[in-house]
Amino acid sequence: MAPHDLRRPFKRPAISDQQKRREIALLRQTQNRRDAQHQARFLASSVLSLQNQNLEPISEPEPEPETEPEPETGPELQSELLSRDFDVIQASKLKGSKARQWFSRQLMLPEWMIDVPPRLNHDWYVSARPSGKRCFVVSSNGTTISRLRNGSVLHHFPSALPNGARTKDISGPAHSFCILDCIFHEMDQTYYVIDMVCWRAYSLYDCSAEFRFFWLNSKLSETGACDPPSPYHKYRFSLVPIYDCDQTGLNAAYTGVVPYVKDGLLFYNKHAHYQTGNTPLALVWKDENCSQYVLDTDSNGQVPSQQQVVLELQDDGKVTTSDDPPVVFGCLDGDFIQKSGLRLGTLLRFVISDGGMTFVDGKFQMADLNYIGKVNRARTFADSYSKVLFQYTARHSPLRVDDLITSVSSAHDQENETVDVEMAG
């Protein structure tokens, strides 16, 4: 019956510092709980179990042919340490040769398209691949670094990517970082993003391509990374148009006008995760209409009269591709190896002579190889089987764009037929 009770304190200062202390403590606890939760969600989920652990150890960037270091233990142990459950966050902080080594193995490498995969028009995306340097772009700690396929640094620059520059406007927590799969296009000095690997400290390795592209398309522009260059954003980033691989999509990617020079077409399986190393779930294909470089050139920019291949020397003298498992192309004579002082893992260049490649029941048997010499040190990988074969067919009986178009339209028909059969059965 005394409603004015609540009005009594009017002239007394409306402070209850005790209540304020309680509220501040609660606020701090809530904040801390959120931080702990946030950290748990992101940190632990970005630990990667790298897939290619059974890959042969890759030679150190600087193998000294004269000296005889312990061939296995050193680099292998190190590479094991580096690859097992390695934390992307730590990786993003790696420097020097360790960083080179780690990053040289993080890119997903598409195989060359030698056959048209089934269900191309249902399960695949297509895009026009920009011509340029394939690289990994990592933004962290207020800076951005791009690294080439062999792990070496291309640019070190500020960008509008999360945590990619030291600006006052910090969006997101300080430990945030991201990793993008890009092609640097010299002409317009632009990074064309072809895939998203980590975004704001969250790993997308285990996400389907469908999801990664969705995320890439919706997130990249939010940051201002697609804006023109500015003092805190040295290079522009740009998205590559990605199409469903039906007739329209294929046609758009093949003939459509893009602001960059095309170098073939990229095909991604929609359901595939981001897999480091060679994968048949991403493919590349090209012809003269969509690429200036269909046939490989030598160091002088000339197309050699005979196809050249780079293969890796194994301990039993076999020379193999970079695939997992490796494909054997031939075998070197033990005496020859000793005489030339060649060591395990060395990359060697050969030409495929007139004998060509031999197939039995569609399966590769052998190639007519002639040794040329050792390969430039900057090179870290042997050719993949699909690359060799793509080059080989390009010289003899190439897979044509018409074949692709037919397959996306006929695949459609096939689908209908299958349904019919099932209905009848």
Partner 1 sequence: MAMEVTQMLLNAQAVDGTVRKHAEESLKQFQEQNLPSFLLSLSGELANDDKPVDSRKLAGLILKNALDAKEQHRKFELLQRWLSLDSAVKAQIKTCLLQTLSSPVPDAASTASQVIAKIAGIELPHKQWPELIGALLSNIHQVPSHVKQATLETLGYLCEEVSPDVVEQDQVNKILTAVVQGMNSSEGNTDVRLAATRALYNALGFAQANFTNDMERDYIMRVVCEATLSPELKIRQAAFECLVSISSTYYEKLAPYIQDIFNITAKAVKEDEEPVALQAIEFWSSICDEEIDILEEYAGDFSGDSDIPCFYFIKQALPVLVPMLLETLLKQEEDQDQDEGAWNLAMAGGTCLGLVARTVGDDIVPLVMPFIEENITKPDWRQREAATYAFGSILEGPSPDKLTSVVNVALNFMLSALMKDPNNHVKDTTAWTLGRIFEFLHGSTMETPIITQENCQQIIAVLLQSMKDAPNVAEKACGALYFLAQGYDDVDSSSSPLTPFFQDIVQALLTVTRREDAGESRLRTAAYETLNEVVRCSTEETAPMVMQLVPVIMMELHQTLEGQKLSSDEREKQNELQGLLCGCLQVIIQKLGSSEATKYVFMQCVDQMMSLFLRVFACRSATAHEEAMLAIGALAYATGPDFAKYMQEFYKYLEMGLQNFEEYQVCAITVGVVGDICRALEDKILPYCDGIMTQLLKDLSSNQLHRSVKPPIFSCFGDIALAIGENFEKYLMYAMPMLQSAAELSAHTSSADDEITEYTNSLRNGILEAYSGIFQGFKNSPKTQLLMPYAPHILQFLDSLYMEKDMDDVVTKTAIGVLGDLADTLGSNAGPLIQQSMSSKDFLNECLSSDDHLIKESAEWAKLAISRAISV
- Tokens 């406007």, residue located: 169
Strand 262-269 to 277-285 pairing: antiparallel
Query: Considering the complex, what minimum distance in angstroms separates the CB of residue 198 from partner 1?
Result: 11
Sheet order of strands, 242-244 included: 108-112, 277-285, 262-269, 124-130, 242-244
Q: Which of 86, 215, 232, 371 binds partner 1 (CB under 8 A)?
A: 215
The answer to whether residue 1 forms part of the interface with partner 1 (CB under 8 A) is yes
The answer to whether residue 8 forms part of the interface with partner 1 (CB under 8 A) is yes
DSSP label at residue 176: -
The answer to whether residue 47 forms part of the interface with partner 1 (CB under 8 A) is yes
Quickly count helices (H) and strands (E) in the chain: 10, 17
Give Cα separations from 413 to 28, 158, 268, 270, 420 (angstroms).
63, 51, 22, 21, 11
Strand 347-360 to 363-374 pairing: antiparallel
Query: Considering the complex, what minimum distance in angstroms separates the CB of residue 171 from partner 1?
Result: 10
The answer to whether residue 396 forms part of the interface with partner 1 (CB under 8 A) is no
Query: Considering the complex, what minimum distance in angstroms separates the CB of residue 166 from partner 1?
Result: 18
Query: Which CB sits closer to partner 1, 209 or 404?
Result: 209
* Size, binding site for partner 1 by CB under 8 A: 37
Query: Which CB sits closer to partner 1, 171 or 248?
Result: 171
CB atoms within 10 A of CB 57: 17
The answer to whether residue 413 forms part of the interface with partner 1 (CB under 8 A) is no
Residues 228 and 189 sit within 8 Å (Cβ to Cβ): no
The answer to whether residue 173 forms part of the interface with partner 1 (CB under 8 A) is no
Query: Considering the complex, what minimum distance in angstroms separates the CB of residue 24 from partner 1?
Result: 7
Q: Interacting stretch for partner 1, rule CB under 8 A, among 16-24, 103-111, 303-311, 386-394?
A: 16-24
Please give the torsion angle defined by the CA atoms of residues 74, 79, 81 and 87, in that order, rounded to the nearest 10 degrees: 150
Q: Classify residue 189 as left (phi > 0), alpha (psi -120 to 50) or beta.
A: left
Site for partner 1 in 245-304 (CB under 8 A): 271, 273
Q: Any idea how long the chain is?
A: 425
Query: Considering the complex, what minimum distance in angstroms separates the CB of residue 405 from partner 1?
Result: 29
The answer to whether residue 90 forms part of the interface with partner 1 (CB under 8 A) is no
Site for partner 1 in 190-209 (CB under 8 A): 202, 204, 206-208
**Which spans of this chain sit near partner 1 (rule: CB under 8 A)?**
1, 3-4, 7-8, 10-11, 13, 15, 17-18, 21-22, 24-26, 28-29, 32-33, 36-37, 40-41, 44-45, 47, 202, 204, 206-208, 210-211, 215, 271, 273
